[in-house]
Amino acid sequence: MQTLTLRTPDDWHLHFRDDDMLPETVPATARCFARAIAMPNLVPPVTNADQAMAYRQRILDARPQGSTFEPLMTLYLTNQTTPQDIVDAKARGVVACKLYPAGATTNSDAAVSGIEALYPVFETMQREGVLLLIHGEVTDSHIDIFDREKAFIDTHMAPIVAAFPTLKVVFEHITTADAADFVKAGGSNVAATITPQHLLLNRNDLLVGGVRPHNYCLPVLKRNTHQQALRDVVVSGNKQFFLGTDSAPHPRHKKENACGCAGCYSAWSAIELYAQVFDELGVLDKLEAFASENGADFYGLERNTTTITLQRTAWQVPEKVTLADGTDMVPFFAGNTLQWKLQSAFDTP
């Protein structure tokens, strides 16, 4: 097989950031994705409908000329979020709310502490059909960072799913066999996104031979047995799992730092990275459902009607991407060779 044509995919979890980042991150995503869930952890965070619509317009303004790319907007849940905020957001087109435990990741300091206090908000989301997207890690200092996803399942995720059986919940960027098993057992209203880095790498790729800051993300890479569990999910074709890059750009100097930022900027080669994994696993025939169908179906949105085509050709991910202000970013998998490359996009069958 030398070419692979897919229904145009969507990215169900990414970070565009804001302002000077948008001219880089939006075109990088719009080159191959029709839609993307835009994470709301800006500074300050996107906590109401007015802020979400203003951010949406900034993203639209950064699209390449002629692009029809559509950002799908989310609210950032805080302990001050009210049920009325959810009603107002739904009326303005917001599709989901993001739950970050306070301190779990980049720009999460304003996030939720005491998750049970948000149950009235979850009840309104369930009634209004607004999805709950969860960064599933506890942040208790006494719990090992490699165990925080499993602890969150036991402490918070399982009770939320049990308490709100018709609320659609997405367990974001899962990293463990525990999370994969939980989602598979969770029924039709529970799903998960999987990133390219958690399919391609494990914690050896972060720590062996020295710390590799550009492979540092949160949730952190886990041992190879957990990586294999995620790869097994891909092979299974289970419809509860779908593409979400968690692409998270940071300037080089903030990654290569004594206290480096968490996040992998994968938008620049996202669909090619997934194709690499699916090809390695011998299941290229299952990439279209994972990338282009399962997420849209779970969100209750129409599937895209255009296609993209990838060509089998070896190429190297560049060592850096330069922003308009001259700042360098290092894309995920920089310097590595991929075997598939985007040939054309948004074609009409």
Q: Is 218 annotated as a binding residue?
A: yes
DSSP, collapsed to helix, strand or coil, labels residue 314 as strand
Question: What is d(CA 291, CA 274) in angstroms, rounded to the nearest whole number?
Answer: 9
d(CA 91, CA 246): 26
Q: What is the 3-state secondary structure (H, E, C) of 295-312?
A: HHHHHCCCCCCCEEEEEE
Q: Which residue in the list 10, 85, 246, 279 is annotated as catalytic? A: 246
Q: Is 198 labeled as ligand-binding?
A: no
- Is 109 noted as a catalytic residue in this protein? no
226 annotated ligand binder:
no
Residue 279 is labelled as binding a ligand: no
246 is in an annotated binding site: yes
Q: Report the C-alpha gap between 335 and 337 in whole angstroms.
A: 7
Side chain identity at residue 65, one-letter code: Q
One DSSP character per residue, 166-204 reads TS-EEETT--SHHHHHHHHHS-TTEEEEE-HHHHH--TH
135 is in an annotated binding site: yes
Picking from 61, 64, 23, 59, the residue whose alpha carbon sits closest to that of residue 40 is 59
Whether residue 291 is annotated as binding a ligand: the answer is no
Q: Classify burial at 185, counting beta carbons within 10 Å of its beta carbon; exposed 0-12, middle 13-18, buried 19 or more.
A: exposed
Return the active site residues.
Answer: 246
Q: Which residues are annotated as a binding site for Zn(2+)?
A: 13, 15, 98, 135, 173, 246
Q: Which residues are annotated as a binding site?
A: 13, 15-17, 41, 98, 135, 173, 218, 246, 250, 262
Q: Which residues are annotated as a binding site for substrate?
A: 15-17, 41, 135, 218, 250, 262
